[in-house]
Amino acid sequence: MNINDVILKTVSKGAVLIILTFGIYLFLSGHNQPGGGFIGGLVIASAFVLMFLSYDSETVSDALPIDFKKLSAFGVLLAMLSGIAPMFFGGAFLAQSFGYFNLPIFGKTELATVTVFEAGIALTVVGVVVNIILSISEDE
């Protein structure tokens, strides 16, 4: 089945870029504004799903050699480790801290440890969603 889907492919090339940017924005703005790892992860996952839909899964898998099962496991691990880390500094499990730093380009920026936790969640969500879509599509 080889339908001529030039329009879909061309549009999704641009759209994937926009969706990914928006997803990363949502993810980074998460802990103070609406957004966060879960929603950001869902948006990023939808970009991946769009790629899988418009191109066939072999092409995308070649370009993105990621095992999404392991990606979600890694995400959980990252989130857990960010919870465990404060236990070694005398804090409670899942305790978070933040500070303001002067970075070269961004100027005064807030950096928070909760971002690591959110990153874990985002990776888990991306892994799980893409994995579900792929396992459904593999079944004939």
Cβ proximity to other proteins: between 42 and 94 the closer is 94
Residue 76 in contact with other proteins, rule: CB under 8 A? yes
End-to-end CA separation in angstroms for the chain:
15
Residue 84 in contact with other proteins, rule: CB under 8 A? yes
Whether 30 and 40 have beta carbons less than 8 Å apart is answered as yes
CB of 118 to other proteins, least distance (A): 14
What's the rounded Cα separation, in Å, for the pair 59 and 136?
18
| Unique residue bearing structure tokens 């801290």 | 97
The percent of the chain in helix, strand and coil, each rounded to the nearest 5, is: 70, 10, 25
Residue 113 in contact with other proteins, rule: CB under 8 A? no
Binders in 14-33 for other proteins, by CB under 8 A: none
Residue 77 in contact with other proteins, rule: CB under 8 A? yes
Residue 87 in contact with other proteins, rule: CB under 8 A? yes
| 33 alpha-carbon distance from chain centroid | 17
Q: What residue ranges bind other proteins (CB under 8 A)? A: 69-70, 73, 76-77, 80, 83-84, 87, 91-96
